[in-house]
Structure 1
């Protein structure tokens, strides 16, 4: 009675972009962000670790992933013999080396 009826006009034609294009663009943008924030830095760290492991030689001081620190005595294809105390050697995989220490670090311990 006091309120008049409202009728909606017909909506204009849809935009030129295909349906779902916005969501596909969002997924692509998300993948690019993940690549530059997570995947690329991880690949760089792996490359640096492989280079460090390949350059280990007898006499280097290393820290193994388990926390053992010692001096490399022998190097083979897959393993290292690490002296952790006088006359005590452990055999570890090369990939288990977490850090290469500067020369003389173990003498201060």
Structure 2
């Protein structure tokens, strides 16, 4: 039995103490990169949408997430009523509004 060569083989498989710090730095770096690529832009879009929904008013022309264009005729805490044609009104949740259109857009379409 060759005891010395097997002892060297066991020692070679162990990680040096610096390897743990490198792995930790890599994990922190990946989290920071993920934050700036995914989390931060999503929070910014969510904040902009919340601001858009809170600033809605009666008479605004809007487009919904489903692509329906209409004019707001009635507002509630959670719902709004859109006039999409002369005698057609639809009720939507406020969160389903995608964008506010400039005044007069519905007449030009």
When the two structures are superposed, what TM-score results if normalisation uses the length of structure 1?
A: 0.82
The alpha-carbon deviation at position 15 of structure 1 amounts to 6.2
Residues 23-102 of structure 1: pairs in structure 2 closer than 5 A: 23-102=23-102
Unaligned runs of 5+ in 2: 1-11
Aligned to 1:7: none
Q: How many residues align?
A: 98
The alpha-carbon deviation at position 24 of structure 1 amounts to 1.6
| DSSP-derived class of the 2:92 partner | strand
The alpha-carbon deviation at position 20 of structure 1 amounts to 2.0
Residues 7-18 of structure 1: pairs in structure 2 closer than 5 A: 17=18
The alpha-carbon deviation at position 23 of structure 1 amounts to 1.5
| DSSP-derived class of the 1:20 partner | helix
Higher helix share: 2
The alpha-carbon deviation at position 87 of structure 1 amounts to 1.2
When the two structures are superposed, what TM-score results if normalisation uses the length of structure 2?
A: 0.82
Alpha-carbon distance in structure 2 between the residues aligned to 1:15 and 1:26:
16
Unaligned runs of 5+ in 1: 1-10
Deviating above 4 A after TM superposition, structure 1's stretches of 4 or more consecutive aligned residues are none
